[in-house]
Copies of this chain bind each other. A is one copy, B any other.
């Protein structure tokens, strides 16, 4: 059985998470502040912590720092309020495993939890990363790097590239792409796909690396460098 520790000072959020996680068949423990949370982890038997950054007295970062002083193993998922890239960076530097920005849905948080647990179970840090030449897509973290540089894709752009990456070097038809990215099942004259192909190319192509090739009349294909010639 997997036990998840919920650390948040707001009772509403705590209860919601509690119910949701119990419903999803996790055991839960609750803590309303950092001190309680540290105690709970020390008592052992916690497989993952969900920690709100914004808490009075001991905030999420302080908790994380103190926890990591003794325990570098237990995974931690941070709940960050709003848009705070600094917070994110700071959290990851201190050893958080992932962060979720508010507002978020049940579905999203459950996905993140199972991704973290999957990683931590299979020992090391094997995240789901799709690679094609200089492109690395970390699906769990929703991050992309090309030649080691972070690239910013919108949700739709990301999804499109993800589908192409999953079928590297194989043809993906227009129909498949429309279905998997836009949930459009029927033929139509929409040009939204072409537009997004263009957006993605602009963001990841450069000089001698242009892996998204057109297969006229059929679809597109993401070519790995080996195949390119």
Interface residue ranges, A against B (CB under 8 Å):
10, 12-13, 16-17, 20, 81-82, 102-107, 109, 178, 182-190
Contact = CB atoms under 8 A, between A and B. Distances in A.
Q: How many copies does the complex hold?
A: 2
Main secondary structure of the interface of A (DSSP, over half): loop
A103 B186 contact: yes
18 contacts: A12-B187, A16-B186, A16-B187, A17-B186, A20-B185, A81-B188, A82-B189, A102-B189, A102-B190, A103-B178, A103-B186, A103-B187, A103-B190, A104-B184, A105-B184, A105-B185, A106-B186, A109-B186
A150 to B, nearest CB: 25
A104 B189 CA distance: 11
Contacts of A188: 81-82, 102-104
Contacts of A20: 185
Nearest to A17: B186
Contacts of A82: 188-189
Nearest to A106: B185
A131 B80 CA distance: 41
Contacts of A105: 183-186
Contacts of A183: 105, 107
B186 A102 contact: yes
A223 to B, nearest CB: 27
A226 B17 CA distance: 40
